[in-house]
Structure 1
Amino acid sequence: MTDRDVFLPVGAQPTLEDLVDQAVTAEELGYDRVWFPETWGRDAVTAMATTAERTDEIGIGTSIANIYSRSPALLGQTAATLQEASDGRFRLGVGPSGPIVIENWHGMDFGNPLRRTRETVEIVQQVLSGQTVSYDGEYFSLDGFRLRCDPPEPAPPVDAAGLGPKAVELAGRFADGWHAVNYTRDGLRERLEDLRRGAELGDRDPNDLRVTLAVGCCALADGERARELVAQHTAFYIGGMGTFYRDNLARQGYEEVAHEIHDLWQEGDKDRATTIVREELRDQMGAAGTPAEAREQLQQFLDIDGLDAVNVSFPRGAEPDEIHETMTALAP
């Protein structure tokens, strides 16, 4: 059975207390895991530590912690501490994010994100093993240190996010799972082949990798409002978050649509960009409408072979009561 997770918008909620209350509600509703993103709002670590204290069973993880703002060693230390704080419920998701966040917010050179992701994953895994870390890479060279505290038992899994074929292949080769976002159902199936190829290159069993897909969801009594929120959210990522999501959609057979949405958004015509999302992508991306409509659409993602978890993700414009209504309507 495919797990049903929740992706919480860390920065968009009025208070930290509101955010943690949503995680508590997710546990009460039977969701398997709650994921915390980290961009330029609240930091994910504080939110997860608070959630670990307030919950008992639900899994907790990052989706994603970027690989630039913390050193790999610190990411490993953080993962070890959160595994302890949550009594073994933590899962670390890492990825490069994109130049807009890394260069404009963190002021760092984006460089080669594939190589940096690989090195980060490998170093974090060494840190979590409790052994002395020795690593000589293109970005990081470490030697002579180990965790001063006992390593977590078991060590938390380390997942990698990725969009393009090589990034997904890298996740299959080196990480414990893959985080996918902004995929059509057909596009996801194609990338799953890249994940399997990566696992084979790493002499690993693809069935041991956890594949998590974030799906933009909104289930409201006002179905029209729900559809508009998800369309706006999708258009924002394709049009306003650099070129990575645009290019990812283009690779999935929507090249003309992807570039049109991106160009319109950049020109300031956000309404038209959102309309195109609704007209061209409604049947392939997201689950939105009345509760019955959204549940039916979400089930189409849950039925994808090779997918281990669907991450119910809320549109950035949703109010707290709309998030609660959606979370309740789409609960396992």
Structure 2
Amino acid sequence: MTDRDVFLPVAAQPSVDALVEQAQRAEELGYDRAWLPESWGRNAAVTLTAVAENTEEIGIGTSIMPVYSRSPALVGMTAASLQEVSDGRFRLGVGPSGPIVIENWHGMEFGNPLKRTRETIDIVKQVLTGEEVTYDGEYFELDGFRLRQEAPDPAPRIDAAAMGPKAVELAGRFADGWHALMLTRDGLDERFDDLHRGAEMAGKDPEDVRTTLSLTCCALEDGTEARELVRQHVAFYIGGMGTYYRDNLARQGHEEVAHTVYDEWNGGDREEALAAIDDDLLDSIAVGGTPDEARDLLAEFADLDHVDSLSISFPRGASVAQILETMEALAPSATAE
């Protein structure tokens, strides 16, 4: 059975307490894990510590913690600490993010994101053993680093976020799981081949590499508003977050739509950008509508082979009330009815 996670909002929330309350509500509703992104809002480690201290059973995780904004040693220390404060409920999600975020916001050269992600995962795994870390890589050289406390037992699992073929292959080869996002159902099938190839290169059973699919979802009594919030979110990522998501959609066979959305968005015609995303494409990459419509759409994603968990995320324009309404409508108990 596919697990059901919740992706705490990437959009600004009124307070850390609001995020804690959303995680508590997710726990009450039977969600398996609460993921928190780290982008330009609150520090993920601090916020997840508050979540861990105020919940009892729900898993917690970072999706994603960029590999450019912390050193690998610090990522390992953070993972060990979050595993400790959560009593073993933490899962680490890492990834490169994109050039706009890394170069414009963090002032770092984006460089070779695949190599940097691989080296980060390698080093974090060493850190989490509690043994002295020696590493000689292209980006990082470490000698003598060692945790001062006991190593976490069990060590938290490490997932990698990825969209392109080589990045997904890397997740299968070096990580314990893959975080998929902005992929159509057909696009997912293609990437599973890459994931499985990577796992086999590492001598792993591909079924042991956990796949978490992040889905932008909105389920409201006003189904039209829900769909428009989802459409706006998808258009923003394709058009407003550099070429990363545009190229990802084009790679999945939607090149004309991807470039139209990008061009219209950056040309200032947001309405035309939204209009380029028709209902069929929207329903293949996200979930929006009335509660009943959204549950039916979600079921189609839950039936996909090789997807271990669906992570319910929310449009960037959704209010706190709309987030909670969606969370309740798509909770495991609600969708099982």
Query: Could you state the TM-score of these two structures normalised by the residue count of structure 1?
Result: 0.99
Counterpart in the other structure of 1:250: 250
Matching residue of 1:85:
85
1:268 equivalent in structure 2: 268
Q: Secondary structure at the match of 1:281?
A: helix
Distance 1:224 1:170 in 2: 39
2:123 maps to 123
Q: Does 1:13 align with 2:34?
A: no
Structure 1 gap ranges (5+): none
Further displaced range: 2-11 or 24-33? 2-11
* 1:229 match: 229
- Name the aligned partner's letter for residue 224 of structure 2: E
Contact 1:195 1:206 (8 Å CA) reproduced: yes
Deviation at 1:173, TM superposition (A): 0.4
Shift of 1:283: 2.6
> Could you say which residue in structure 2 is the equivalent of 1:311?
311
How far is 1:280 from its partner? 5.1
**1:1-332 mapped onto 2 (5 Å cutoff):** 1-279=1-279, 281-332=281-332
Whether the 8 Å contact between 1:62 and 1:92 is mirrored in structure 2 is yes
Q: Which amino acid aligns with 2:23?
A: A
CA distance in 2, matches of 1:276, 1:81: 45
> Displacement, 1:207?
1.2
- DSSP-derived class of the 1:97 partner: coil
Counterpart CA distance in 2 for 1:136 and 1:152 is 24
SS, match of residue 173 in structure 1: helix
CA contact (8 A) 2:116 2:139 kept: yes
Answer yes or no: is the 8 Å Cα contact 2:11–2:317 preserved in 1: no
- Give, in whole Å, the separation in 2 of the partners of 1:205 and 1:245: 30
Counterpart AA for 2:14? P
Shift of 1:282: 2.1
Alignment-mate amino acid for residue 168 of structure 2: V
* Residue type at the aligned position of 2:100: I
Instruction: Map Cα deviations across residues 179-225 of structure 1 (whole Å, 9 max, x no partner).
Output: 01101011011101100000011111111111001101000000010
Amino acid at match of 1:202: A
Cα distance in 2, alignment partners of residues 36 and 278 from structure 1:
29
Give the Cα–Cα distance (whole angstroms) in 2 for the partners of residues 269 and 280 of structure 1. 22
Aligned counterparts of 1:236 and 1:68: Cα–Cα separation in 2? 23
Q: Which amino acid aligns with 1:37?
A: P
CA deviation string 1:44-93 (max 9, x = no partner): 11110000000000000000000011000000000000000000000000
Q: Secondary structure at the match of 2:87?
A: coil
Q: CA contact under 8 A between 1:10 and 1:19: conserved in structure 2?
A: no
How far the C-alpha of 1:279 sits from its partner, in A, is 4.0
**What SS class does the counterpart of residue 109 from structure 1 fall into?**
coil
Indicate the SS of the match to 1:249.
Answer: helix
Asked whether the 8 Å contact 2:10–2:316 carries over to 1, the reply is no
Structure 1 residue 12 displacement after superposition: 1.5
Answer whether contact 1:10 1:44 (CA < 8 A) is retained: no
Describe the superposition over 1:231-285 as per-residue Cα deviations: whole angstroms up to 9, x where unpaired.
0000000000011111111111101111111111111111211122244512311
* 1:146 positional shift: 1.0
- SS of the equivalent of 1:57 reads coil
Give percent identity, aligned residues only: 67
Q: Deviations over 1:298-320 (max 9, x none)?
A: 11111100000011010000000
- 1:10 deviates by 4.6
More moved, 267-276 vs 251-260: 267-276
C-alpha displacement of 1:11: 4.6
* Deviation larger for 269-278 or 196-205: 269-278
Distance across 2 between alignment mates of 1:188 and 1:168: 11
Q: Distance in 1 between matches of 2:127 and 2:237?
A: 34
Contact residue 11 and residue 316 of structure 2 kept, 8 A: no
> One-letter code of the match for 1:79?
A
The amino acid that maps onto 2:108 is M
Q: Which residue of 1 aligns with 2:335?
A: none
Q: Is the 8 A contact 2:102 2:109 kept in 1?
A: yes
Distance 2:65 2:159 in 1: 10
SS at match of 1:284: helix
Contact 1:11 1:42 in 2 (8 A): no
State the secondary structure of the residue aligned to 1:171: helix
Contact 1:10–1:42 (CA<8 Å) still a contact in 2?
Answer: no
The answer (yes or no) to whether the contact 2:93–2:158 under 8 Å persists in 1 is yes
Q: Which runs of 4+ in 1 moved over 2 A?
A: none
Q: Output the CA distance in 1 between the equivalents of 2:35 and 2:16.
A: 15
Give, in angstroms, the shift of residue 107 of structure 1.
Answer: 0.4
